Amino acid sequence: MIRPLFIVGTRPGAIKVAPVVRATKEHPALDPIMLASGQHPELVRDALATFALRADAELDLGPPSGGLDEMAARLLDSLSAAIDRVRPDVVVVLGDTTTAAMGAQAAFYGEVPIWHIEAGLRTSAANRPFPEEMHRRLISRLATVHLAPTASARQNLLSEGIADSQIMLTGNTVVDALQFVVAQRATAANPTVASLIDSPGPVAVVTMHRRENWHEGIRRVACATLRLLDRRPELRVVHSAHPNPIVRNDVHALLDGHPRAVVTAPLEYGDFALLLARAKFAITDSGGIQEEAPSLGTPVLVARRETERTEGLRAGVAMLVGTDEDRIVADAERLLDGTSGLASTVAQMNPYGDGRAGQRIAHALATRLANVIVLRRSDGEEPPLAAAGTE
């Protein structure tokens, strides 16, 4: 059996890896192990539970210090030790989190091949978004196999000199995850969400968490929300506040007490998906929501200066609005009035995936690594790192 070690640390990581882990569990040639890094332990536990999954082991990183450097150092240390203990055939990391970057680095030092899910996303600046853009660039230097979600991600990797034979176009696993939860439930478990979904009138969903938007950007989006609520008495807004206190405190300080604003703790993924499907539009700096919204027919105002998810912009389902209050209010009102270019172009095929990425990745793990396992068994020794992951 081939033993892939999946390393996850954050909510989007858990949501996006879940369909792959489920597919590998069903594959007769694969014996997956899932390790939670301890970066966001509760969010990861909750997200995995939605998919009836639990990590096989969870690392304890100790009390958070707030510093990225300390978090990275603790992760590198703990993940290296875990890789040494497990001795997997391959380490699989996803996306651009500190967990993914340090997981890849630890696997490199442990001389274990690295597969990177959601490879090839790029913006034009190495430090924007910070630190994610540099994380994904570093992982691309370390990885053996690059699982690109879209054709443009694949093109980005080719432009950086990565061999075509090391890239696979898979679709984004978030589309699989979304299809799974939407098929599982018709109504929301959370009573506040269920009543919002059932009541008439437009609902907007807001989430903000990126470092580049901490303080000023998040406050500007909350102020734009208040202005919209003033101008549109029929509108209700749900702001799902990230648990990071730097983010959460600003949102509560500005929106608490408004009768048509609901500030919630993170919602369970299935409930959040139902709410997003019901929403007239979303305002967000999230990557995952940009990828999910097209499947749900929900247009997205992207509260960032630049996005690596350009497919949604090109498909006319998302629009970059930054965090300028006037711009957000004007574009949101156009969506409410049905006069936005976005409103008429939603509900097309999702440009990010078709819901079969997990199956493709499981199949690739079983077939591309089969040679490596046979080689190792017949020679009685590990193959060179370069042999792993090649056809």
* DSSP E strand stretches across 202-345: 203-207, 236-240, 261-264, 281-284, 300-302, 318-320
Give me Rg for the CA atoms of the chain. 21
Of 118, 271, 291, 331, which residue is the catalytic one?
118
The amino acid that residue 203 corresponds to is: V
In the complex, minimum distance from the CB of residue 275 to ligand UDP, in angstroms, rounded to a whole number: 8
In the complex, minimum distance from the CB of residue 173 to ligand UDP, in angstroms, rounded to a whole number: 11
3-state DSSP call for residue 156? helix
Any idea what the Cα angle at residue 217 is, between residues 216 and 220, rounded to 5°? 85
Q: How far apart are CA 212 and CA 218, in angstroms?
A: 9
Q: How many CB atoms lie within 10 A of CB 381?
A: 9
> Could you tell me which residues come within 8 angstroms of residue 338 by beta carbon, excluding any fewer than 6 positions away?
344
- Closer residue to ligand UDP in complex, CB, 12/19: 12
- Closer residue to ligand UDP in complex, CB, 115/352: 352
Q: How far apart are CA 127 and CA 135, in angstroms?
A: 9
Q: Which residues bind ligand UDP (CB under 6 A)?
A: 11-12, 15, 174, 207, 209, 240, 266-267, 269, 272, 286-289, 292
* Helices 269-278/173-184 angle, 10° precision: 90
Of 3, 45, 185, 211, which residue is the catalytic one?
211
Strands 57-58 vs 90-94: parallel, antiparallel or unpaired: unpaired
In the complex, minimum distance from the CB of residue 362 to ligand UDP, in angstroms, rounded to a whole number: 21
> Could you tell me which residues come within 8 angstroms of residue 312 by beta carbon, excluding any fewer than 6 positions away?
290, 291, 293, 294, 300, 302, 318, 351, 352
Q: For residue 232, indicate whether it is catalytic.
A: no
Q: Structure tokens of 124? A: 């034009």
Of 11, 74, 132, 250, which residue is the catalytic one?
132
Of 11, 40, 74, 209, which residue is the catalytic one?
209
Q: For residue 118, indicate whether it is catalytic.
A: yes
- Closer residue to ligand UDP in complex, CB, 89/132: 132
Inter-residue contact 7 to 35 (CB < 8 Å):
yes
- Closer residue to ligand UDP in complex, CB, 292/331: 292
The DSSP annotation for 99-121 comes to HHHHHHHHHHHTT--EEEETTT-
- Closer residue to ligand UDP in complex, CB, 157/267: 267
- Closer residue to ligand UDP in complex, CB, 236/368: 236
- Closer residue to ligand UDP in complex, CB, 170/240: 240
Q: For residue 135, indicate whether it is catalytic.
A: no
| DSSP, res 171 | -
In the complex, minimum distance from the CB of residue 388 to ligand UDP, in angstroms, rounded to a whole number: 28
| DSSP, res 9 | -
Of 128, 242, 309, 363, which residue is the catalytic one?
242
In the complex, minimum distance from the CB of residue 277 to ligand UDP, in angstroms, rounded to a whole number: 11
In the complex, minimum distance from the CB of residue 210 to ligand UDP, in angstroms, rounded to a whole number: 7
Nearest Cα to Cα of residue 115 among 145, 142, 135, 137:
145
List C-alpha distances in Å: 273 to 125, 236, 339: 31, 17, 25
Strands 57-58 vs 114-117: parallel, antiparallel or unpaired: unpaired
Q: For residue 132, indicate whether it is catalytic.
A: yes
In the complex, minimum distance from the CB of residue 20 to ligand UDP, in angstroms, rounded to a whole number: 15
Of 96, 268, 271, 291, which residue is the catalytic one?
96
- Closer residue to ligand UDP in complex, CB, 11/280: 11
Catalytic positions, please? Answer: 96, 118, 132, 209, 211, 242
